[in-house]
Every structure is written in C-alpha cells, then in structure tokens.
Structure 1
Amino acid sequence: MTITAPPNQFQNDSPREPKNKPKRVAFIGQPNTGKSTLFNKITKAGAGVANWPGLTVDLMRAELNLNDQVVEFVDLPGIYDLDGFTDDEKVVQTFLETNSVDLVVVVLNAVQVDRQIRIPLQLKALGLPIIVILNMADEAKRFNVGIDLVKLQKNLNVPTHAISAKYGTGCDKAYESILSSLETVDQSVTIDSVVEYFKEHPTQQAELDQVIEGSINMPAVNITTLTNRIDRWLLHPGFGLPIFFATMFLVFWFIWSIGIPTADPVDELTGWFQESLLEPALSPFPSIVQDFVVEGPFSGIATVFSFVPLVALFFVVMTALEDSGYLSRAAYLIDVLMEKCGLDGRAFVLQLMGFGCNVPAVMGTRVMRSRAMRLLSMLIIPFSLCSARLQVFVFILAVILPGPSGAMALFGLYIMSFVVAYLIATIFNFTGQFKNEEPFVVELPPYRIPTAKQVFFNVWNEMKSFMTKVMMFMILGTTITWFLTNFPEGSAEGIDSYAGQLGSFFAPVMNPIGISPFLTVSLIIGFVAKEVQLAALATVYGLSNDALQAQLAMDLTLAQGFSYLLFSLLYIPCLTTLGTIFGESKSIKFTVFSATLSLCVAWVISFSFYNIFNLIF
C-alpha cells in the first residue's frame, strides 16, 4: 500500500532576525526507531557528548549554523512514555523541565505507528512545538502498513513526514520542514513539571483512537513475512542458541584472521616514522629526553595505532549485527538462562555492548526499572572483554598460541567472560541480595540489511570516542610507566627501578598465579585504562612490538600467558568504568565492593587455572 503525502501547508518562508541565543531542537522517540540515525544524518555525524546542568548523564549534542542562526540539536534517550518512571524517562522529563526547547522532533517507527502515537500527543499537550517523523517508511510499505499522511497530519495538526533515515528517502523534505518550523517559533518553551501535568491530564485512549482512525491501517497479526520464516530457525528452542554461539565464533574467527595481519603495515609505518623523522628531530636534545619521548608516549601511541584496524573491524561487525536486529533476538533466546541468574535478556545485550566498552554498557542499565537488577547488571558488566582489552589479548595470544589456536582461545575467553559473570550473578541471586520481580519485555524488530553508510557513521563515532579516550590516558599511562622503569637512576635492567620494586612488592600475591613483576606493573597501569596495559608492557621492557613479542615468547609459558589473560579479563575495571558505576549506583560502598569482587574473582580463577594446568601438563 502506498503512503500518500500531504501538501506542505506548514511552510513559512518569512525571514527571521538572527538571535544571540541558539535555538534548540530536541530529538525524542522510542528505542529502535532510528532516532539517533536521523540525528547523525542531520548533524553529519559531527555531534559530541555534552554534559547538561541538572542531569546525571551526558547527551549527544551538535551545533549547526542554519540561515545565519546557530541551532543546537540534542539527541535524548529513547523512551516509551513521557509519563514513565524509568531512569531514561526521568532524564527526558528533567531535560524538558530544566532546558528550554524551540522544537521537538518526534521520531516514530512507521511499522508500529499505532503503538507509538502516544508520545507526540503528550508533547503537544505540554504545549511544545513538534514535528513528527515516521521513520522506516520503506519497511512500513513492505509489511503492508497503510499510512495516509494527509489524514494523519490533519488529525495531529503538526507537520508529519514519512522517511527512511537508513536510505535517505524523504530526509531532505523533513530537514526543510524542521528549518521552516524553527522559523515560525516565537519563543523557547520550558515545562514546569512533566509528571505533575500528566497526573492531572492523563492521555485518553479516545484521543489516541481518534488520531489513528482512518489514517493508519495495520496488517493482519498472523501475516507471514521473511522475518517470521527466518525466526523459525534463529529463535527455535533447540537450534537457536547453537546457531547464536556458532555465529559469535565465526565473528571472532573473522576478527582474528583479518585483524591481526592489519597490524603489520601500521607497525612498519610507525617504525619508519620513528627512525626517519622522530629520532633525527630529537637528536639535539639530551639522551634522557630522547629516551622518554621514544620509549614513553610514542611507544604507547604506536602500539595503540597498530591495533586501530583491529578495533575498527570489531566495531564494524558488532554494529552490523546490532543494526540487523539479531542482537535483540539473542536477548530473547538467552532470557530463559538469564532468569536463573536473577537477570533478563537486557542484561545479556548489555554484556554484548560491553564488548565495545564497559562504560556505555553500565550506563545502559538505566533501561531497567528494578534497582536490584540494575546493580546486579553493573556488577557483572565489567567482566565483559571490552575492545580495549581485545588488543592486549590478541597480542599475547599471538605469542603463546600462534595460528588458528589463538582464534579459538580468543573465543574461549569471551565465553569465559559470560560464564564467570553469570556464575557470580547466580550466586548473588541465590542468596537473595539482588531480588528482582520485573518482567522482561523485548521488541523484536524486523531483520534489516545494514547500509555501508550507516555502519560507517556508527563506527566513525565509536572510533572517535575510542581514540580520544586512548590518547588522553596513553600520555598519562606511558609517562608514569617510563618514570617507574627509569628511576631511580642507575637501576640495573629495571630490577631496582620503581617498577621492579612495585612488581616485587606484589610478588607474594602474583607469583602463585604465574605473573611476573613486569607483567604485574602493566596490570597496575592498566587500571588507569586498559588501552595503556600493552603500551606499559612495551615501556617496561623498552622494546618495540615485534621485539616485545619475541621477548615474551622466551619469557612466558602457555600457563603463565593464559593466566595473565584471565587475570586481565576479570580484574578491576578501568578508572572510567569505576567512575561510571559510582555515577549510576550513587553508592561508594557498592563501587568499592564491585572493584574488590573483580580482583578476588580474577585471582581465584587465575590461581585455579595456573596450578591445575601445571599439575596436568
């Protein structure tokens, strides 16, 4: 069924005088509506994270100069209801109460427009100027969802557009409508109290029915689609989980096989830069300065750059899986097992999100209304093998298990992260310390083929954030490591250096798990940021990547190397993650408990593996 477009009756071409105060446009919508995709498309992926007064979270923000007027675009968290009480809904409520807005862009999923029309009606009732965007119009047509935009726009009495943010269809007209709507706005709006308003003026079902009547025609519920046919296999109670784990194994095999070779040309480039440009430029300076720059910050930065292609490849694969709709099904499949742990499928999805970075995964626990489940999820998320640790694992596995065995070991470590996390959750659930009674509801979107452009923008934003954080911590971490390994002056081969002394101090605890003093130092520095862990190791040894691998191949046994990886996987999360846990839990006691638990679990697992392995082999 075709979607009939209305006349552009809301256009207003009258020019407005520029103002000093930027106008503000807020994007609001339910999760998985493509709201952030449209936001990135309009802002050209130039948005950055911004901190807002009165809010405990950071939001995506971008400023554009449009028609001689600075306009600020803000992407708010996905919500299901303005009258809700989840943390994300509270964030949106607080934002509208503490920040004025000139226009709200409400993004709805056109396939589910009948269930999502409540939000624009609530925003209208609050007196906010809005424009409604029906995204995924291509899917609505494919699923025989009939939408008469002329009548829907008339019923809503606001500008309404059907688009596909994924393919760009209709986006130009929607963008022009946003500009036109901004031209007609006389003043910004701030809401006194969102919750109090809806207590006095609840949204009536009759109002919803009136808007939907005659403008939206939903297909029969039992219609057979390609998604239904695929789900018969991927959600099968017997085949679903094996297919999922096989898929994840292939993912990590692909990352291993393609990602490792990409480090060689980057190493050659950084090596050429050091020999041909950096060292000649530093030659007039004292030797201690040369040594500091080459073995300190530059060594760390070169190490990170060598793994940039690997990390980018990881984000490409995970973004494609997420955009395809498969990860939501993974949450559904695993929910039966998660229930035994006192969690649900959302916690599993957050664990998968933690593969990229633990920080947004911890922040993602806001979608859970049960504080007990939120805390339990925050407790186990740091066990996820994040992308920062990925480079460490690939490097060490290439030393102790070169070839295809390394890929299998990498997949095994990911499985181990899940097993340990959910074993810990099960123990706490059994003791009743994190009692949860919240039901699990997950929306399964239709399968989609991710576009190259969409994946590129997502990966670009992820890598920008990743590299910004890495560079900040890298300078700090490698500087500290260089100082520890080079002072006091005259220390022999690092044995008497501060690093050697620090490693020796912890030797009684680390020797039983096969971790040497120098490896211990890299773990200590890794607390600042896991990205620095490998660079710290290179600085401690004073060797480049290739030379370091050769040295470690002589120094490490298989048992020692794998014990080091297990400890790296499970021990205390990075400083940023701990700070996020504190920010989300609002409890220093819980944060300290989380860090202590991680350390204890890491030591026990590494001790068990190291001693059992040596006993058998």
Structure 2
Amino acid sequence: MPTVALAGNPNCGKTSLFNGLTGARHHVGNWPGVTVEKRSGMVEVDGVSVEIVDLPGTYSLSAQSEDERIASSFLSQPGVDVIVNVLDASNLERNLYLTTQLLELRKPMVFALNMMDDAVRQGLEVDMEALSRLLGGRVVATVGNRKEGLDDLKAAILQAAQNSDPARDPTQGSPRVAYGDDIEGEVRKLAEEVRRDEKLTEHLSGRWWALRLLEGARDAVEQAEASHAGKAIRQQVEASRAFLEGHLGDDCPTLLAERRYGFARGLVAEVATRRNAKAERDLTDRLDSVLTNRVLGIPIFLVIMVAVYTLTFVIGKYPQDAIGAGMGWLHDTAAAHLPPGELTSLFVDGVIPGVGSVVVFLPSIMILMGCVSFLEDTGYMARAAFIMDRLMHLMGLHGKSFIPLVMGMGCNTPAIQATRTIEAKSDRFITILVAPFVSCSARLPVYILLAGAFFKPFQGALAVVAMHVLGFVVAIAAGKFLRVSFFRGENTPFVMELPPYRLPVLRTTALHMWEKGSVFLRKAGTVIFAGATLVWFLSNYPGLADRALTAERQTQKEAIQAQKLPEAEEKEKLDDLDFAYRGRIMNSSLAARFGKVLQPVFRPFLDPDRRRPEAWKDGVALTAGFVAKEIVVGTMAVVHQAKAEAPEGAETTPLQQSLRENSGMTPLTALAFMVFTLIYTPCLGTVGMILKETRSWAWTGFSVGYGIGLGWTLAWLTVVAGRALGFA
C-alpha cells in the first residue's frame, strides 16, 4: 500500500485537498509522543488502496519548530513513497521555498497547484508544462474546496507510486537548487564526512545531511552528534561555516535561503505571467482597511464575538430543549421500569443527570466551533491575530502568543502545545503560563448553565462574551507581570501571513463542527461518566446504606399510594418524597462533609451574606472541576438534585430551574462562580501538558497555585464591586 504525504505551507488549501481525497475515510489522532494533530486516510485509485497523510503546514523543513520537526522527520522516512507538494497558485514564489527542500529528498513528487480560482481572479497564468518540466514531476491544477482536479491528482499519485524505483540513483532524476561553487564545494566535503556513517545515509543522501547541518537543523545536528563519526562531522561543519561566512559575508542559513529564493523567483519568472490583478487586490485592501484598522479593528472583533455567542444561544436553544426532553424521558422511563436498588439509583440519580446535563450543551458547543471554523476559513481569524498583535507586544507577550491563545478557545491543552512554534524560551514559557486563562470550550457549559439560569438571553450572551474577554485581559496582564518579574528582556518580533479572503465551504465547516462535537461526546462517555459516578457515590454514602431511612421512605410511599389519589397528583407527591429523601441523604453524605470543610474558603464570593446553608454544594462542583471543567455541570446536577423535568412552561433546563429556585444563588454570585471557573486551575490534562512542555515541577506548581489565588481574588472582587454598584 503506497504511503503519500501531503506537504505544503499553511493556508495553501492542503486540508481541503485531503478531505476531498479521503472523504469520510480518514481519522484524526496525534503524532506519537506529541499532541500535534495527525490526519491520515484512505483513497481507492483504480482498485489500488493508497494511504494519505496530511502533514502539519510548514514554511520550511529546518526543524526549528515542532511542526517543522514532525514534517521533516516523516518525509525523510523510507516508508513515504510519494510526496504531494501542495502549492498555493496565487502565492507561488513563497510556496516554492519549501519545494526546494523537498526536491533534495529525491523522492517521487506530484505538485498540486491549488487555489487556481484565486490565481485566475488575480490575473495569473501558469505554463503547466514548463513548470512540470522544471520541477521534474507532474503538476496538477486543483481547487480543493470545490473538488476540482481531484481525479487528475489521484491518477498522478498512482502513476508516481507505480513508477518509483527503490534501486534508482538518488542523485539523479530531479532538479535541485544550484548553491554556487563555494557552497557546493563545502556541501561535497561535508557529505563525504557524513558518509562515514552508513546508518545516516541508509535512506537519505549525504547532500541532504550536509545542507541540513549547514543551516543548523536541530534534528540533523543531534543525530550527527550521536553518530560514531560525530566528531569529524562537527569539525567539518565548523570549518565549512567559517569558510563560507568569511568568503561570502553572511551566515550559512541566510546564504542557503538566498539561493533557494533565487531559484523560486527565477522559476516563477519562467512559467508565470500576470495580467491585471487590480480588482482582486482592491477588494482585499478595502476589507483590510476596515477590519484591521487601528481604531475600528478591536471593536469590530468584539462585535463579531458578541454576534457569534448570541447566535450560539438563540439557535442552540432548540436542539438543547429537544435533548433535555429526551434525557427527561430516559430518566422517567428508567425510574419506572428498573427495580429499586443502588444500581438503579446510580443510573437514574447519578449517570443520567450528570452526563445528560453536559450533553444537553453539545449543540451550543458545535455551533460555536462552527462559527470559529467559518471565521478561520474566511481569513478573518488571521486578521484578528494581527489586530491583537499590537496589544500583545504592548503588554509584553510575543506576537505569536495570540495563536495559542486563540486555540485555547477550543482547548487549553493543544494551545499550550502550540507554543512550540515560539523560538525564544522566555516568550514560550510566558505563553504557557497564561494560556490556561483563555476560556476553553469545556468551561462553556458552565457559563451557559448559569447565564441561562440567572440572566435574560441577551444579557446571558454578554456575560459569556465577558468571560472570554476577561480571560484574554487576564492572560495579557499576567504576561506583562511575568515579563517584568521573571522573564525580563525584549520579546522578538512576529511576522504574520494574512491569507486572502475566501468564501468558506460549508462541508468543511460541518466537518470541523463534527470533529469538535465527537471529542466532547467522547469526554461525556468517559471522563464525565466516571466523574458523575464518583460524585454520586460521595453524595449518597453513607446515607444510602441507612436502612432506617430507607424504611421510613418506603412507609411514606405506601401511605401515599394507599390514598388512591389521581395519577398525576400521586406522581407529584411521590416525586416530592423522592426529592426530599435524596436531600436528606445528600446532607449527611461524604460530599457534604467535604463541601462543608471547604465552605469557608468559597463563602466570600459564593455566600457573602451567609444566607445559603447549602453553598457547600457549589464548592464540591468547583473541586470536581480540577479533573475536567465539564464535570462541574454534571456535579451540580447531582448535588443539587435537579428534577428530571422542568416545570411546565419553563424556558430553562431542569438544572437551571433548580438553581434559580432552590440554590439561593443570585446573579452576582453566579457571575462570581463563572469568574472563578474561568481563572482557577485548568483540567488535569492541561496541567500535565504544562509539566511536559516546561519540564519543571516548580513552574507547574506555580501555574496551579497562582491560578487558584488569582481566581479566588477576582471572584471576590466581582462580588465586592457588584455590591458597591448596588447589584447585591
């Protein structure tokens, strides 16, 4: 089975091609040992099964960042049979820099000249035959988001795979950059030293190693140092660099880059001609003049975010109500047909309320992720990063820090992993330490729950947006504090690519929505299920084992049934009896004892007037959030003993109705609860990623400790400020 790697720059449409080639026959996981996303799938071409691997988008293979290291490592493996180099036809010269490095691998290549529709609109004409001849491989014109050219691309892939000859001379058959006599002479010398170790050149040529060593690729340097010829190789590298820098007047990475860009520039001049591109450019410039305006940019960004969250609330309410009704039916059916006992109680009072109260927010999360995906595909999110870049530098954060912070809206764990693209250690550590303050999708159910219970729809949308804005503000302020205290020094500049504006493909947006939703469902079936089970146990024992209490309940139940009341009235009385019974068990449970111990800690912002005897339940929910923020809602459903169905005519979920009527929480304390949920220690997965990336227990402990302290302080200040303004 041939293995085909898709390689290309970010924003070249590579993933659209991958989705078009594989359809639904692909899966998403992580590369071994790292959390960078890996996509692989299957495609049938004339009866032959081909595996397609979508590599992370990268501008080069110099292995300075984690994405570059993964792409370079995978492409250099002998198991890669064909490389499909995806090129953005409208930015051909820039994209060809990566091509010059791929050509050095001497592997069969196919070139997908993607986004041809953009190139045509810009008045660009490309001589496909000349480009194919100069690159030494078949060039196929494609439009990935419309599935144009995919049949030709599949045929070219199969032809390249079938014509590959493992025994061919790797130094012949493909064009390559001519670096000039001085550089080529040093490359030959260094290649000879590399060939002393047959393992290094078993699958890759000495020339490949020589070029990577001269440009200082970290993975190449590490492997060469570990070689038995490592000393000789290191000496030759130092000698070659000294010679070239002395004779050519610049460092080796710059010298190599100049030759590669020269090759790309000359090739484009040979094969491409441009007619009038003024209309296309004018449209982009007009949009950017408004969306990236220094004065209007940030207000427009905030308006768009408010619109996104309002849409999430309004549209998400309908499927949310349907799921809530379904969970209520499941609860009633299980309670009516399952035999009495502890397992039934676990399922009816623990699993269904715990998991159901979280799953009910799945539509809202999918809508939010769909909106974010839509904005990314239009090219606007890159502009948002550009807008915020100025503010990031002002506050002491690296410009690249905004990208992980935006990713944190989905999940803080990959956001922290994304800091690997930041070269400077101080900038990277600052971003790692502030990224957990960005509100992730796991916190969203908590916001929706409390906002829906205590605020009107528009006010609730503003409250949720306020949480996300507050997260970014706290992240930026914390970054400034860390910069002036622990990581002094100037942060490095950041050059950002602004892709052209495009109309998103709804199918791609739908795929992203499903991927995010499936991740959420997997958590509901594993982490949240386990958390709900544990919380049920802590909330029911030792009271559930109290036989006297159980007998009393049974006697009262039989007395109600003996009254021969109408069915609806009897059901209401039995429900009230069960509700009171569960409340008595809860108040004597292990969870109650634990919550009452913590109650003084949370009282200043959850019960400032000391009028909520059951405020300890909120402390139990927040404590459960240390494992995963999704568990907070499930825990609240269990400890607050929400009924299966909301009262007739209610516009809220049963849990929201229970919180509004029975918890004693006010809009102000609910807002403080949301603030604490936003700021305090992230989930265990994120804490583990912080440890993995910093390799320091001290910094990990610092992250946990100052998150809790800052969260408590801001939640308390929320109550103090609200009361001062008359919102008690």
- The TM-score normalised by the length of structure 1 is 0.90
Instruction: Give the 3-state SS of the residue equivalent to 1:349 in structure 2.
Output: helix
After superposition, what is the alpha-carbon deviation per residue over 1:322-341, rounded to whole angstroms, capped at 9, x for unaligned?
11111111111121111022
Aligned to 1:11: none
Q: Distance in 1 between matches of 2:38 and 2:462?
A: 38
Q: Distance in 1 between matches of 2:266 and 2:401?
A: 38
In the alignment, structure 1 residue 414 sits paired with structure 2 residue 506: no
Amino acid at match of 1:251: V
Q: Distance in 2 between matches of 1:325 and 1:33?
A: 12
Aligned to 2:289: 232
Q: Which of 652, 660, 664 is the matching residue for 1:553? A: 660
| CA-CA distance at 1:156 after TM superposition | 0.3
Mapping of residues 209-220 of structure 1, within 5 Å: 209-218=265-274
Aligned to 1:12: none
| CA-CA distance at 1:607 after TM superposition | 1.4
Q: Which of 423, 430, 444 is the matching residue for 2:484? A: 430
Q: Distance in 2 between matches of 1:365 and 1:220?
A: 40
Aligned to 1:18: none
After superposition, what is the alpha-carbon deviation per residue over 1:384-429, rounded to whole angstroms, capped at 9, x for unaligned?
2212211111111111213322122222222111111111111112
Q: Distance in 1 between matches of 2:354 and 2:209?
A: 50
Aligned to 2:316: 259
Q: 1:101 to 1:401 in 2, by over 3 A?
A: same
Amino acid at match of 1:485: S
Q: Percent identity between the aligned chains? A: 30
Q: Distance in 2 between matches of 1:207 and 1:375?
A: 38
Q: 1:568 to 1:252 in 2, by over 3 A?
A: same
After superposition, what is the alpha-carbon deviation per residue over 1:60-108, rounded to whole angstroms, capped at 9, x for unaligned?
2334566665543222211111124122212222333456311112112
User: Paired residues, what number?
Assistant: 593
Aligned to 2:73: 94
Q: 1:64 to 1:531 in 2, by over 3 A?
A: farther
Q: Distance in 1 between matches of 2:317 and 2:2?
A: 47
Aligned to 1:365: 419
Aligned to 2:586: 494
Aligned to 1:536: 635
In the alignment, structure 1 residue 441 sits paired with structure 2 residue 495: yes
Instruction: Give the 3-state SS of the residue equivalent to 2:321 in structure 1.
Output: helix
In the alignment, structure 1 residue 207 sits paired with structure 2 residue 269: no
Question: CA RMSD of the aligned region, Å?
Answer: 2.5
Asked if structure 2 preserves the Cα contact closer than 8 Å seen for 1:373 and 1:434, the reply is no
Asked if structure 2 preserves the Cα contact closer than 8 Å seen for 1:87 and 1:369, the reply is no
Q: 1:588 to 1:26 in 2, by over 3 A?
A: farther
Aligned to 1:6: none
| CA-CA distance at 1:518 after TM superposition | 0.8
Asked if structure 1 preserves the Cα contact closer than 8 Å seen for 2:606 and 2:665, the reply is no
Aligned to 1:519: 618
Asked if structure 1 preserves the Cα contact closer than 8 Å seen for 2:606 and 2:673, the reply is yes
Aligned to 1:376: 430
| CA-CA distance at 1:483 after TM superposition | 0.9
| CA-CA distance at 1:159 after TM superposition | 1.5
Mapping of residues 91-130 of structure 1, within 5 Å: 91-97=70-76, 100-130=79-109
Q: Which of 39, 43, 46 is the matching residue for 2:22? A: 43
In the alignment, structure 1 residue 503 sits paired with structure 2 residue 612: no
Q: Larger deviation: 41-50 or 308-317?
A: 41-50
Instruction: Give the 3-state SS of the residue equivalent to 1:443 in structure 2.
Output: coil
Amino acid at match of 1:495: N
Aligned to 2:715: 606
Q: 1:212 to 1:401 in 2, by over 3 A?
A: same
Amino acid at match of 2:480: T
Asked if structure 1 preserves the Cα contact closer than 8 Å seen for 2:359 and 2:524, the reply is no
| CA-CA distance at 1:247 after TM superposition | 1.8
Q: Distance in 2 between matches of 1:196 and 1:58?
A: 30
Amino acid at match of 2:86: V
After superposition, what is the alpha-carbon deviation per residue over 1:532-574, rounded to whole angstroms, capped at 9, x for unaligned?
2101110112224733222211321122211111101111111
Q: Which of 81, 87, 93 is the matching residue for 2:60? A: 81
| CA-CA distance at 1:281 after TM superposition | 5.2
Amino acid at match of 2:627: V
Q: 1:609 to 1:52 in 2, by over 3 A?
A: closer
Q: 1:134 to 1:250 in 2, by over 3 A?
A: same
Instruction: Give the 3-state SS of the residue equivalent to 1:388 in structure 2.
Output: coil
After superposition, what is the alpha-carbon deviation per residue over 1:272-297, rounded to whole angstroms, capped at 9, x for unaligned?
23334x345533xx421111012222
Aligned to 1:343: 397
Instruction: Give the 3-state SS of the residue equivalent to 1:166 in structure 2.
Output: helix
| CA-CA distance at 1:616 after TM superposition | 4.2
Q: 1:108 to 1:86 in 2, by over 3 A?
A: same
Mapping of residues 462-501 of structure 1, within 5 Å: 462-490=516-544, 492-501=584-593
Q: Distance in 2 between matches of 1:395 and 1:549?
A: 6
Instruction: Give the 3-state SS of the residue equivalent to 2:443 in structure 1.
Output: helix
Q: Distance in 2 between matches of 1:50 and 1:195?
A: 30
Amino acid at match of 1:61: S
Give 5+ residue unaligned stretches, structure 1.
Answer: 1-21
Instruction: Give the 3-state SS of the residue equivalent to 2:7 in structure 1.
Output: strand
Q: 1:531 to 1:149 in 2, by over 3 A?
A: same
Asked if structure 1 preserves the Cα contact closer than 8 Å seen for 2:122 and 2:276, the reply is no
Aligned to 2:680: 571
Q: 1:74 to 1:616 in 2, by over 3 A?
A: same
Q: Larger deviation: 582-591 or 126-135?
A: 582-591
| CA-CA distance at 1:240 after TM superposition | 2.0
Amino acid at match of 2:263: E
Instruction: Give the 3-state SS of the residue equivalent to 2:526 in structure 1.
Output: helix
Amino acid at match of 1:413: M
| CA-CA distance at 1:310 after TM superposition | 0.7
Mapping of residues 59-74 of structure 1, within 5 Å: 59-63=38-42, 70-74=49-53
Amino acid at match of 1:148: D
| CA-CA distance at 1:120 after TM superposition | 2.1
Q: Which of 447, 457, 461 is the matching residue for 1:393? A: 447
| CA-CA distance at 1:371 after TM superposition | 2.2
Mapping of residues 190-205 of structure 1, within 5 Å: 190-191=203-204, 196-199=210-213, 202=256, 204-205=259-260
Instruction: Give the 3-state SS of the residue equivalent to 1:48 in structure 2.
Output: strand
Asked if structure 1 preserves the Cα contact closer than 8 Å seen for 2:82 and 2:108, the reply is yes
Amino acid at match of 1:387: S
| CA-CA distance at 1:163 after TM superposition | 0.8
After superposition, what is the alpha-carbon deviation per residue over 1:435-488, rounded to whole angstroms, capped at 9, x for unaligned?
453211111111111121121122222222232233221111111111110112
Q: 1:96 to 1:169 in 2, by over 3 A?
A: closer
Mapping of residues 169-180 of structure 1, within 5 Å: 169-180=148-159
Asked if structure 1 preserves the Cα contact closer than 8 Å seen for 2:76 and 2:105, the reply is no
Aligned to 2:301: 244
Give 5+ residue unaligned stretches, structure 2.
Answer: 168-201, 216-255, 547-583, 608-614, 645-652
Q: Larger deviation: 343-352 or 468-477?
A: 343-352
Aligned to 1:27: 6
Asked if structure 2 preserves the Cα contact closer than 8 Å seen for 1:105 and 1:130, the reply is yes
Instruction: Give the 3-state SS of the residue equivalent to 1:213 in structure 2.
Output: helix
Structure exhibiting the larger radius of gyration computed from Cα positions:
2
